[in-house]
Amino acid sequence: MVGLIGRLWNLPYKSIVKEASGKTLAVTKFFCVLHITNTYLCTFALAYGPSMIPTFNLTGDMFLAERLSIKFGKVGPGDIVLLRSPESPRKVMVKRLLGLESHSVTYVVDPMNSDRCDTIVVPKGHVWVEGDNIYNSRDSRQFGPVPYSLLEGRVFCKIWPPKEFGSLMKSGMKDPDL
């Protein structure tokens, strides 16, 4: 008992505290860098749902999305973008950007039932997004053009599943120049 107290008394507290704070600082720095990268540079996301078939599968593909293009305004029609849903603020969706402000967008109103097309001019400060699978996608055809500030990232690379690894082509199935 006395020996235990004696050993406790003689522990090199200074160096333990120093080492612990050094390691904590390293971990904190790591998380800071991770947070900054995630918020300002590049993030990864998991997409599930049928709205972007065949580009993304039903059961969930992982991809990387970068944020710099959005901040500098360098996105254009044909890009796949991450955006906050205008109907559910906590939900983030993945859609394809089809038109920027003052672009004239032609879309199929209800592809399941008819071939009727409609044309709309995208208002200032807004963008038009649609899923690749227009038969089963909730996008600008339902909730209208979305404000540009709702865009969160531009998808540039799919990382899961491994056999579909690779950068995503700009046009995919929907070539806006056709």
Q: Which residues are catalytic?
A: 51, 95
Residues 6+ apart with CB under 8 A from 160: 61, 62, 63
Least distance to another protein from the beta carbon of 82, Å? Answer: 12
126 lies in the binding site for another protein (CB under 8 A): yes
Q: Is 39 in the site for another protein (CB under 8 A)?
A: no
Contact 116, 108 (CB under 8 A): yes
Measure Cα distances from 70 to 101, 154, 163, 165, 174 in Å. 14, 7, 28, 23, 21
Closer residue to another protein (CB): 39 or 149: 149
Least Å from the CB of residue 161 to another protein:
30
Q: Of 97, 146, 155, 168, which one interacts with another protein (CB under 8 A)?
A: 146
Contact status: 88 vs another protein (CB under 8 A):
yes
Who contacts 56 (Cβ-Cβ below 8 Å, separation ≥6)? 47, 63, 94, 158
Q: Residue 175: which of 65, 77, 50 has the closest Cα?
A: 77
Residues paired with 123 in a beta bridge: none
Interface with another protein includes 94 (CB under 8 A)? no
Residue 87 or 110 with smaller CB distance to another protein: 87
Stretch near another protein under the rule CB under 8 A, chosen from 14-22, 36-44, 118-126, 134-142? 118-126
Q: Which neighbouring-strand residues pair with 154?
A: 66, 81
Question: Is 89 an interacting residue with respect to another protein (CB under 8 A)?
Answer: yes
Stretch touching another protein by CB under 8 A, among 26-34, 121-129, 154-162, 168-176: 121-129
Question: In sequence order, what are the beta bridge partners of 158?
Answer: 63, 166
Contact region with another protein (CB under 8 A), list: 14-22, 59-67, 102-110, 146-154: 146-154
Q: What are the distances in angstroms from CA 41 to CA 32, 34, 76, 91?
A: 13, 10, 18, 20
Catalog residues that contact another protein under the rule CB under 8 A: 84-89, 123-126, 146-150
